[in-house]
Each structure stands twice: as C-alpha cells, then as structure tokens.
Amino acid sequence: MPDATTLYLILPEITLAVFGMVILAVDLIWRERSRAALAWLTVLGFVIALATALLGWGWNMALFAQMYVVDTFAIFFKLLAAIAGILVTLVSLDYLRDRTPYRGEFLALFTFAVLAMMMMASSASLLMIYLSIEFLSYMSYLLTGFLREDKKSNEAAIKYFLYGAITSALMLYGLSLLYGISGSLNFADITATFAARNDVPTRIVALVSTALVIAGLGFKISLVPFHQWAPDTYEGAPTPVTAFLSVGPKAVGFAVLLRVLLTALPAFKNEWIALLTVISVLTMTLGNLVALRQKNVKRLLAYSSIAQAGYILIGLVSVNLNGASPFSGLNGVLIYLFAYLFTNLGAFTCVIAIENATGAVEIDDYKGLVKRAPFIAALFVIFFLSLAGIPPTAGFIGKFFVFGAALREGFLVLAAIGVINSVISVFYYFSVVRAAFFEAGKDTAPIRLAPPITFSLVVSAALVLVMAVYPEPFFNLAAWSMGMFGVAK
C-alpha cells in the first residue's frame, strides 16, 4: 500500500488522470453545452498539475519498488509538460472549432498525452520506460490522425504509427536483452551488474541493446536515421498537434535518454558517446540541408526541429558531472530544451494564427505578411532569431551552454560543425522572414488574432526575450534540476 508521501509526490499524475477522465465524462453527458467550458477545464487541470509538481521540489525519492522516481530532474520535465499543455490547449481552441466536432475527445487525449510525458520523466525501470513511451506514442498517433476526414491527417497518422511501432519493437528487444544480461529491470541493479561484470560477451550484448534503446528513443526525438516520419507527420497532423509533437515528446525523449544513459549504462559511456556524436552530426547536417529546399512552413519547421535535436545531442554527449564548471552539458541540455519549448511553440503559434485566418501554410502565402499582421510578422522574427541562435534571444543562451560544454570536453570539431550548421539555418529561417517583410503579396486583408492565441504568443515571446536579457533565474533552475536519482552530484 503506498503511503501518504507517495501519493503526495504523484499528485500531478493523479490530477491529470482524473481531469482526463472527467473531461471525457463531462463531454459524454453534456455534449453541446459544455464545449467552451471543457477547454478551460483542461487548462485548469494543467495549472493544478503544474502547481502540484512544484510541491515535490527538493524530494529525491524512488517510489513503487524503485520503478518511479521523483527528483528535481523529473520535476523539471513535468513543468515543461504542463506549460506545453497549457499553451497548446490555448492555441488549439480556434483551430479545432472549424475542423472537428469531437473536441472533448481531443482534449481528453491531449490531457493523457501530457500525463504520459510526466510519467516518462519519472520512469526509472525498463518496464516503466516502455509503458510510458507507448502511452505517449498512442496518444500522439490518435491526435495526429484526429481529423478523420482529412486524407493528409490519416496519412500522417499511419506513417507515424508504422515507424513508431517498428522502433518501439526494436527498443523492446533491446530492453529484453538488457534484462537477460543484467537480471533486473531496475536501473540501479543494471549499473551494479555492469560495474561488476566486464567480460566481452556481456559488453557485446549490452552494446547491442544500448543501440536498440537509442533507436527507440531516437524515433521520439527524431534523430537521423529515425527521422523519416517527422516531415510527413508534421505536415499532415493538425497544426496544434504538430506544435506539441515538436516539443513535448522530444523533450521527454531526451529526459528518458539522459536517465537511461546516465543511471543505467554509465559503464558504456565511451561507446554511447561515440555513437551519439555521429548521430548528432548527421542529424544537424541533414536537418538543415533539407530544410533549405522546403516550400511549406510546417515541413520547414519539421526539418528545423530535427536539426535542433542534433544541437541538443551535442550537450548530451558532452555531459560531465564532475567538477563545478558551469558547462556540465546536462544543464546545457535543460536550458536548451526550456528555450526551445517556448521558441518552437511560439513559431508554430504564429503559423496556426495565419492558418486560422487564411488556411495558408506555404512560404509563398506569407508574402506581404508585415502589412496584414505586423504583430505576427515581428514575433516571427524573434522566434526565428531564437531558433537560429542569434542574440539577444533564448536560443542563443541554449546554444552557448551546449557548445560551451562541447568545448570543455574537447569536442572542438563537433562544436565547429554545430556552429556551421547554425549559420546554414539562418538562410532558411530568413527565407520566411524575407517573404513576410520584403515581398509584396496579393491578399491584403488584415489578419485578426483571437485572445487565447495572442496570450500564448505574448507569453512565449516574452520568455524568449527575458531568458536572454536576464538569464540568471533560468541558470539556477537548470542547475537545481540536475539532481537525478542515483547519480552523485
């Protein structure tokens, strides 16, 4: 029987589970009358989850037979999940109103998706990792294919589903090998086994299973070569879902990857660093080069988000928790993910605002945008500056810490490739800005913004700028969030 402390520490998860089911039930009972209220109920659920997640701050405990941990690292990602939940719910209101009658189901599935993200952040056994990843995946497939009558949405869903099912089977095979060789599902025991046994057969099996686990998580993070689903899925999915997929699963994918590599497989650090360095270079370069040729803004942002995953991976391979350097790699990843969350959600919110008004998602349709919607055009510049990593924006701070960690660890070539890629990315981000500012468009009707979208745009843009101008609280947040259960500081 779990004691009161356990229940207290999993309050955010309980909150979201209850809210998800209440939303479904309310939608069933009062179909027509409850629609506007349901979205606000969802937002309320995320706000309560955010507050209750903060209650667990400072605890460092393993629950449920060591399968589930609540530490500051997990809580950091729970905060990210709740914030992403609030912003995406706000921007999805108008988008869904014209496109589907099943908004209650959408909100319930979305609440469960955020719940799954929180569970991923806390998972500390092979079993919990598998269950929470699959939970998030199924919610994502359903949300991607949510516009049932829309062929593109269906196609996006089946591609996402097939890729996801294959990579999760690969990962599961890796987990079974890991269980067989170490005799436990628990991260602490796995570490102990590999510290004690270091013979060649053990190492070979462990390395194969590490590679398979990286394949499964690489799919969620959209790392090359497991990225092929991303452009099609991002283009076909309802745009608020695309916005969510580009930040949510990616962030918690990194959380699980970090936790597995640092708390279960530290014995193979040199091997996974070598593997992930190669993947990082491929991911950045391929993402950026293909993004240069894109005509559709959603596809462009898809390739951009693949490239961003490559940059974040630089921080992951440079992780070094010894010493008191401000560039531990881990804090770089956390700061980068925090900055990326607001930047990418902001950029997608701009896309959604324009799509709501005009239905257009091609770069050519953005011509003359500055005359029709000067506010959106200006925010686009801020978000794209941040994505490209140009000061004074949050993206610059993130890149600074990630590349700094690479330099500290002596990965000069990797850092140089990262910088070159950032320069390449400026070209395609500014192809959108050029169309919006310097080319004349046919249509000149002004674009109106709904209040919830304006709110989330202002919040995102403000945080992107504040992080750059006054970054100290965010450094501290990242530094505090490095407390991972089972890792000595």
* Eight-state DSSP code of residue 100: -
User: Contact 484/262 with Cβ under 8 angstroms?
Assistant: yes
Minimal distance, residue 144 CB to another protein, in Å: 9
Minimal distance, residue 486 CB to another protein, in Å: 19
Minimal distance, residue 121 CB to another protein, in Å: 19
The SS3 assignment for 362 reads strand
Minimal distance, residue 151 CB to another protein, in Å: 5
* Eight-state DSSP code of residue 447: P
Q: Could you give the CA distance from residue 164 to residue 183 in angstroms, rounded to a whole number?
A: 27
Q: Which amino acid is at 160?
A: Y
Q: Could you give the CA distance from residue 245 to residue 342 in angstroms, rounded to a whole number?
A: 13
Q: Which residues bind another protein (CB under 8 A)?
A: 1, 21, 24-25, 28, 126-127, 130-131, 134, 138, 141-142, 145, 148-152, 154-159, 161-162, 165-166, 169-170, 172-173, 175-177, 179-180, 183-185, 228, 231-232, 235-236
**Omega into 392 within 30° of 0, i.e. cis?**
yes
Minimal distance, residue 386 CB to another protein, in Å: 28
Closest to another protein by CB, 158 vs 479, is 158
Q: How far is CA 20 from the centre of its chain?
A: 21
Closest to another protein by CB, 198 vs 228, is 228
The SS3 assignment for 185 reads coil
148: which 2 tokens?
């049932």
Closest to another protein by CB, 180 vs 326, is 180
Q: Phi and psi (nearest 5°) for 296?
A: -100, 130
Minimal distance, residue 133 CB to another protein, in Å: 10
Closest to another protein by CB, 183 vs 326, is 183
Closest to another protein by CB, 102 vs 430, is 102
Minimal distance, residue 401 CB to another protein, in Å: 34
User: Contact 395/347 with Cβ under 8 angstroms?
Assistant: no
Closest to another protein by CB, 170 vs 436, is 170
Q: Helices marked H in 145-268 — which ranges?
A: 151-182, 187-196, 200-221, 229-236, 239-259
User: Contact 44/109 with Cβ under 8 angstroms?
Assistant: no
Closest to another protein by CB, 179 vs 268, is 179
Q: Which amino acid is at 251?
A: A
